[in-house]
Amino acid sequence: MALREKVYVLGSAITNFIGKFHPDFIWKKHPDFGKKENPSLEDYIALATKAAIEDAGIDAKEIKKGFVGNFAGELFSNQGHLGAVLAGAHEDFAGKPFMRVEGACASGGLAVISAVDAIQAGHDVCIAVGAEVQTTVNAKIGADYLARAADYRNQRSMDPFTFPCLFARRAKVLKEAGVVTDEDISKVVVKAYSNANRNPRAHMRAFKMSEEHAATASDKNPKFLQNEEYKDHMKVSDCSQVSDGGAAIILCSESALKRLGKDPADYVEFVAYGHATGPISGPADLTVLDVTTLAAQRAYEDSGLNAKDMKVAEVHDCFAVTEILMLEALGFAEKGKGAELVRAGETSLDGSIPVNTGGGLIAYGHPVGATGIKQIVEVANQILGRCGDYQVKNAPKVGITANMGGDDRTSVVTILRRDS
């Protein structure tokens, strides 16, 4: 269903994404350890919100509704009820109607499309804020928390690291089918870090990833799964980061944009979205992202655009193999041909369809609830030419995002465009 009323990106912000290996991340070997603390979940919500309002250049009172994207605040930070946290994030927010939405790693994308629906319903200026703090617990406990995005009762026992195991399972099937190689996976990883090294907000901005490091299992890059069947198909370097961070976007209707004295020609239009879910019990076919494929079909249909129109993409590379499947789900390659695009360099900054230009979940980082919002902000920033050292040349006019929850059980695909 096409949008009844045009929607524009009025303002946005992304905080630094930090965690292990980021120079500012405070841990036991950091000189500030014991003196300073890393920002909290509440801090990230407030930081991203205030920066987005400043970017929009509006009075906070203009915001009619707000949505917080977060997956597991009640686990990592002992804090749920994040609509009320947002109500305390700005002095002019008390009383406003805010809520939290959740769809695992797609929580951020869901927050944005909730804002789009609210605008269609007449709440003409809305904010979506995403945040996650995951560094409060160790990796094994964190992996247990994140397994609540899978079918916990039936899938938790696969491996202490349930999600890496679920995607190692996909990698194995794809390799056995002969459509993805270990080298393809390494290429995705090296591109991610190379892009992140140009991005001052990226979690891994300071980490140099060589082709050899990405390609080789070693003490520094172990195969860390315990599951014997799948352990050969996942190395640390193949994974997205355990990051803290936040992102926010303010969307508004065309009439609100004009009321606020802005010229639509200066702004990026949010053209359409697709949203789909599949049963938590898991996918029927491990060689495709069928829920994302369905979400993409809906977004294309509602926008009147197709894969060939897309000039930049942010896709959900929770693991390197997922990025390859995403290329197929979004229609950039046929089934089984995604890796060919990677091999040909078409997804790099100067390729025909640059993908994850700021480093993706693998190297920009993956503060879960923020990710879906960050993706949309990144595409908007590419269209506006605001991406600095990782700006795609001749700023693209049209872009797409794909934000996925669990093992492709929730997917949100969005399309953004600027006409002028």
Residues labelled catalytic: 105, 366
Applying CB under 8 A, among 6, 20, 30, 148 the residue interacting with a copy of itself is 148
Q: To the nearest whole angstrom, how small is the minimum distance from the Cβ of residue 354 to a copy of itself?
A: 28
In terms of DSSP bridges, do strands 7-14 and 245-253 run parallel, antiparallel, or are they unpaired? antiparallel
Applying CB under 8 A, among 33, 54, 57, 122 the residue interacting with a copy of itself is 122
Q: Which stretch binds a copy of itself (CB under 8 A): 76-84, 195-203, 347-355, 376-384?
A: 76-84
Determine, following the binding rule CB under 8 A, whether residue 87 of this chain makes contact with a copy of itself: yes
How far the first Cα of the chain sits from its last, in Å, is 25
CB closer to a copy of itself out of 57 and 88: 88
Q: ∠ CA(153), CA(291), CA(378), 5° rounding? A: 105
Q: To the nearest whole angstrom, how small is the minimum distance from the Cβ of residue 103 to a copy of itself?
A: 5
Applying CB under 8 A, among 29, 78, 393, 420 the residue interacting with a copy of itself is 78
Applying CB under 8 A, among 30, 96, 175, 198 the residue interacting with a copy of itself is 96
Q: Give the whole-angstrom CA distance, residue 347 versus residue 113.
A: 26
Determine, following the binding rule CB under 8 A, whether residue 184 of this chain makes contact with a copy of itself: no
For residue 252, the number of C-alpha atoms closer than 13 Å in the C-beta half-sphere is 23
In terms of DSSP bridges, do strands 312-315 and 398-405 run parallel, antiparallel, or are they unpaired? parallel
The three-state secondary structure class of 117 is helix
Task: Judge whether 59 and 127 are in contact, CB under 8 Å.
Answer: no
Determine, following the binding rule CB under 8 A, whether residue 50 of this chain makes contact with a copy of itself: no
Determine, following the binding rule CB under 8 A, whether residue 101 of this chain makes contact with a copy of itself: yes
The pair of structure tokens assigned to 322 is 């997922």
- b/e per residue, 120-141, with b = 16+ CB within 10 A? eeebbbbbbbbbbbbbbeeeee
Q: To the nearest whole angstrom, how small is the minimum distance from the Cβ of residue 1 to a copy of itself?
A: 5
Determine, following the binding rule CB under 8 A, whether residue 275 of this chain makes contact with a copy of itself: yes
CB closer to a copy of itself out of 348 and 410: 410
The pair of structure tokens assigned to 331 is 């229609």
User: 19 to 48, contacts with a copy of itself by CB under 8 A?
Assistant: 42
> Can you give the C-alpha Rg of the chain in angstroms?
20
Q: What's 260's DSSP letter?
A: T
Q: Give the whole-angstrom CA distance, residue 303 versus residue 54.
A: 30
Applying CB under 8 A, among 20, 50, 120, 223 the residue interacting with a copy of itself is 120
Residues that bind a copy of itself (CB under 8 A): 1, 4, 42, 71-75, 77-88, 93-104, 110, 114, 116-118, 120-123, 145, 147-150, 152-153, 156, 275-281, 291, 294, 405-406, 409-410
